[in-house]
Structure 1
């Protein structure tokens, strides 16, 4: 049966049953109630037959090609009428069950040969590929006794990507709001790419004096430099066991992926070449550094389905891959986490292999829950033990980061909530200081 009775039918049918139940008072009421309900059922069947589904309307789902992790994504169900009469419709979309939904169904009147739309919002809990189902449609019959129902084939898959919208906002924030003026003041004199000559002033470094030009002009002249463009940035993302830890609604890997994407957007916008390497026990994906917006699309595609695995990461294989296939000096940004001495020593040993050819920036993703243990005054013996463990782990992490700095690399330890802006700012700082 491809129809269901409406509230109007049920109310009328119930009235007939009430009359039927009074048959013990008057037998005529018994027959009257019975005939009324039978006639009502017959009318409903005729009403259903007079409600053609085919050709009355068309339904289409539209949504963005790319869903962003953790943000609202709008889905629209568009309906177009082919009937000369108004139609009353009820729609319900079969959204991916893993996603949180707001308002995926609704009822409305469609004007004669008119159009209408039902919009609702989905919030995505994870990256990857998800599946939409069909669209359920009910059409109210002319007499309002039944809903004719059908299912419009609309199965499709959708990809959920890292939060590229936040990455795009990071570019705007870095280059148009707070950082642009600061960068303009700091560009000259600290980069690697020659820009122009100017008269020497007190405070300029002697190593920047252009002696030949000074001799020709009869006064000291200094070289001005600007930040070198088209430098090489390699983003290394650890997908191992420690990155499975959840902070709020997302894993540490989710935060790392979002931060890597933000840096890639800013780097490409600034004219640099961005590359990507993901690894666990082996190198899973490697994308050599290249410039241009097309590289961003490739990075986004590689990152959309990266998932953490319960495996120990092999820093040796990851860094060996960088040394083997990246001959040009690069800023190598490793997004990882370390919580014990063994992991720290392994990371340190192989980080040293990158220096001096490359400049490593080791980013450890801080656990805000771990820091929360050491702040309050312990209220019990269990709290004392928990604080002791947390303090030991934090101390080991600090020693490892200090050792990286001593070796000639860079280190950054930041909580997940501040990871993307902090990493983008550190990248810009490295550029302005001409360290690459």
Structure 2
């Protein structure tokens, strides 16, 4: 660890200097006060010199240790820790300022306290990043003083960079939640699965009731008796998170964009589906298909999805659901569960894409995820004071009504939906996934 030091005069030094100067001014009018001023000036100089030598000449220092996480979890409270140790043989007043990344906007956060000789102190705090990407920490500035007249600044030159990933802290939390929810789902009626996939299990002797089309004629000829193929339902099926990267997903709520809420929830459902022996995959799109991770449940699948979503961003283009349908038709040959993260604000916007959604639904189970505008909800619940307030509330209610029309329109064609506030998305998504599994739709 390298240190650079420099000397500063503190505010106390200047306040004391102004006070001594004021006493000298008063001494011109009253002679006895002049003697007091001279004594104060002498003491002022002695204390300043002594303060300088006490903090600068000893070959001791103050040691700072950053106990920061290796990576940040976006949208969550990340625990941070600073360890400060006074190596001097006398007590000091220590003030620590870390140069935090610009994304965190922690401009006033500093740690200060009085330290005894060889005393250690631990400062615990949390930060909540709201953007994915690299967070660059600068140097640590440590200001020490004894009397408070002179401050020695020690600059730690070790810089730090921490990558902020989509919210991985939610994974374990919602994994436990999903297990508890599945154990409580009693009385769910199983329905016939349409278009499910089967895989070969073994060949067995024919018994009355077996379907004739399953007879294996080659095995029958070899065994000189009727043999039939036996199949079982395919247990590992694909679950895809299809994330819209269009301009509509830039809308922010509580510091996070709709895209960030979608990414965090897609990680949760991917993790749970892998735990349920399903295959997890990812598709992102806007004007064109951007990324495609083939559904799988191999060990490093979650890390692969996490790394792919690390730098995903929206743009100002309108998403093309026609290209999405063509790509899914060509690439996803197996019936899959598709969670499509998007947002339609008007019924006209839905109608432009509805034909493609209906085509996708013919081959796959589609769950369309849309977001409630929590700001509109607050606006409609406020008491109108002026004509402008009434006008604003009327427009807000019109938007809410359009959302309800959109949901009803999707239900007419059997497209499943999740319609909730962004902060409640992960819980609602888990409940919908478990409901689909319990009902046997997928």
Q: Same fold per TM (> 0.5)?
A: yes
TM-score, normalised by the number of residues in structure 2? 0.77
Q: Bigger CA drift: 49-58 or 254-263?
A: 49-58
State the shift of 1:172 in Å.
0.8
Q: Is 2:197–2:335's contact at 8 Å kept on the other side of the alignment?
A: no
Q: For residues 9-24 of structure 1, what are the structure 2 equivalents within 5 Å?
A: 9=13, 12-24=16-28
Mapping for residues 176-195 of structure 1, pairs under 5 Å:
177-182=180-185
Cα distance, 1:91–1:350 mapped onto 2, change above 3 Å = same
Task: Indicate conservation of the 8 Å contact 1:103/1:120, yes or no.
Answer: no
Note closer, same or farther for the CA distance 1:189–1:411 as it changes in structure 2 (3 Å cut): closer
1:79 to 63, 81, 84: 84
Alignment partner, residue 40 of structure 1? 44
**1:174 Cα deviation (Å)?**
1.2
The equivalences for 1:131-170 within 5 A come to 131-141=136-146, 143-170=147-174
Matched, 1:235 2:241: yes
What's the CA shift for 1:293? 5.1
Q: Residues 351 and 189 (structure 1 numbering): CA distance in 2 closer, same or farther, change over 3 Å?
A: closer
| 2:245–2:313 contact (8 Å) kept in structure 1 | yes
What is the match of residue 258 of structure 1? 264
8 A contact 2:345–2:399 mirrored in 1: no
Q: CA deviation at 1:147?
A: 1.8
Pair 111,273 (structure 1): closer, same or farther in 2 beyond 3 Å: farther
Structure 1 residues 368 and 27 mapped into 2: Cα distance closer, same or farther (>3 Å)? Answer: closer
Any stretches of 5+ residues in structure 1 without a counterpart?
195-208, 213-224
Q: Mean alpha-carbon deviation: is it higher for 64-73 or for 93-102?
A: 93-102
RMSD of Structure 2 on Structure 1 (CA): 3.8
- TM-score when scaled to structure 1? 0.78
Task: Specify the alignment match of 1:390 in structure 2.
Answer: 399
Matched, 1:65 2:74: no
1:429 matched to 2:435: yes
Gaps of 5+ in 2: 1-5, 199-206, 211-230
Question: Are the structure 2 counterparts of residues 359 and 131 from structure 1 closer, same or farther at C-alpha, using a change threshold of 3 Å?
Answer: same
How far apart in 1 are the matches of 2:307 and 2:413? 32
The 8 Å contact of residues 192 and 441 in structure 2, kept in 1 or not, is answered as no
Q: Rate the CA distance shift 1:373–1:33 in 2: closer, same or farther, 3 A.
A: closer
2:303 maps to what in 1? Answer: 297
Q: CA deviation at 1:336?
A: 0.7
SS class of match (2:185): helix
In structure 1, the partner of 2:104 is 99
CA offset at residue 148 of structure 1? Answer: 1.0
Q: Is the 8 A contact 2:238 2:337 kept in 1?
A: yes
How many matched pairs?
404
